[in-house]
């Protein structure tokens, strides 16, 4: 598998990606706030990874990985071929922070 697109909200799927998809080049996913180690595992195991799209923000009780943690892990652990990070804020998160910044 070289590309996996979708809205993955289960750590077990992200862990399976790290274990079984070493040739993955592109991934779209989400990490919960306590799943930073899973992101590191994906970067360590998927050395062909070039592109990552990550949804961030909160929805109900769901809280995703904070963007500053995301950026830190990408800077420290991404593979040499990695060149594209797409950070996608969730709509509720974006609205709340965007409109508060205008006040």
Partner residues linked to 26 by β-bridges = 3, 51
**Cα separations (Å) of 20 from 2, 26, 99, 101?**
11, 14, 41, 42
At 68 the pLDDT is 87
Mean pLDDT for the stretch of residues 94-98: 48
Residues ≥6 apart with Cβ < 8 Å to 44:
18, 77
Number of domains in the chain: 1
Q: Residue 16 sits in which domain range?
A: 3-102
pLDDT score for 99: 44
Residue 31 and residue 65 in contact, taking contact as beta carbons nearer than 8 Å: yes
Average pLDDT over residues 50-62: 79
How far is the C-alpha of 62 from the C-alpha of 21, rounded, in Å? 26
Model pTM score:
0.78
């Amino acid at each position: 598998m070289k590309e996996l697109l979708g809205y993955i909200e289960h750590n077990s799927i992200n862990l399976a990606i790290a274990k079984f998809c070493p040739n993955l080049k592109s991934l779209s996913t989400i990490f919960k706030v306590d799943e930073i180690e899973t992101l590191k595992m994906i970067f360590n195991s998927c050395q062909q990874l070039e592109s990552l799209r990550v949804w961030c923000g909160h929805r109900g009780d769901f809280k995703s990985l904070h963007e500053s943690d995301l950026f830190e892990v990408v800077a420290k652990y991404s593979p040499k071929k990695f060149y594209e990070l797409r950070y996608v804020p969730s709509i509720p998160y974006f609205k709340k922070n965007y409109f508060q910044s205008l006040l």
